[in-house]
Structure 1
Amino acid sequence: MKLEHRTLENRFVRLEPLVEAHREPLREACAADRDLWLQLYSFSMLDTAFDENFDKLIAGALAGPALSYAVIKDEACVGTTSLLRVDEANGALEIGGTYYRPEARGGAVNPAAKRLLFGHAFDGGMARVYLHVDALNARSRSAVLKLGAVQEGILRRDRIVWTGRPRDTVVFSVLEHEWPQVRDRLDARLADFA
């Protein structure tokens, strides 16, 4: 089964396939937290790097094949997220490239977006969904564990990020048979925001 790159929506967020119309709203969202891009991301969405990497996201070439989305809350673009390294032959993909402007963090946006992405992946026939998180990103590591994902291990000095810093990457995953329990946890968390 082929994953469709289509709009995904629940009562908290709408994930729209990333298109040219999202360029300036996403540029503004990314500029809202310059320090985060400088500290934790393997690629930059700041200044002159924004356009090049936005074009790669649209083309699905940043970590392809990929399906990238603009995250919309209350009709405003608050960030981006993607289904990366889509490997339909092996039934695996990565959720990543996620960024939210500061005021969208800590509430329903991330669990709501993850609920949509995991659901789309498993409904689309995936057997394994994984997440790669910078070992220095304590907030993301905690959020992924709250989802119910399993920490598989740490890839030491996995890559050099755009600032030149060597990065250790923590690998988490959810397998197809674990999805119902993870889905229930996400739904329970989202019920708290109703």
Structure 2
Amino acid sequence: MPNLTLYRGEKNNWWPAPEVRLICGMTLYSPWQPTAVSSLWNTLKNEVKGALGTSLEKKVAAYAQYLRATGRPFALATAWTDVGSFTSDYNYVIRIPNAHFFYWGGTKDAPDLGAAAAWTTPEQVTADFIVLNAPTVEASTILGFGHHTGTQEITFFHDLPIGLIESCNGKPITDYAIKSKSDLSFDEKIKYAKYLR
């Protein structure tokens, strides 16, 4: 499967510079627990099941709108297209190798993984979708909720390892002097505690 390229902009009044931000990868403020992909998938299915709607499609759409309405501490928002995507002080490019897309399946009372979706270009995707990096949830190390919107947003429910972060502001991540936790002062460790693992 091909690589999936995504974009994320972060403001410097909320997020630290890449040298600190990426110490433990691109982390979430308050991720769902436990963080295994299979557990996250069960949580996501339950969240969609509990959303308002009289059909699976309406429940998925309602939950997608909830995710997009404002920043969620358990979610990491990205855009699939750079045209119209959010840009800010720190503009990251994220690369997901071996990406697999699936439409939602199951029923409104038991959402599940549906049919595989062709996705070489955003125009091929015709509904909200799920992103993995393997053919099954059990084999995947990522879980994304894909939004069928203008920028085809994808929301992740877990930290992204630094190996998936390709660049920031056009500069390869390998060119940044990423700190380690031991480089931080006591006050910095307290300040960034929610982003350190």
TM range (shorter): under 0.3
Higher helix share: 1
Q: Which structure: larger Rg? A: 2
Instruction: Return the TM-score normalized by structure 1.
Output: 0.25
The structure with higher relative contact order (CA 8 Å, sep 6+) is: 2
Select the structure that is richer in strand.
Answer: 1
TM-score of the superposed pair, with normalisation by structure 2: 0.25
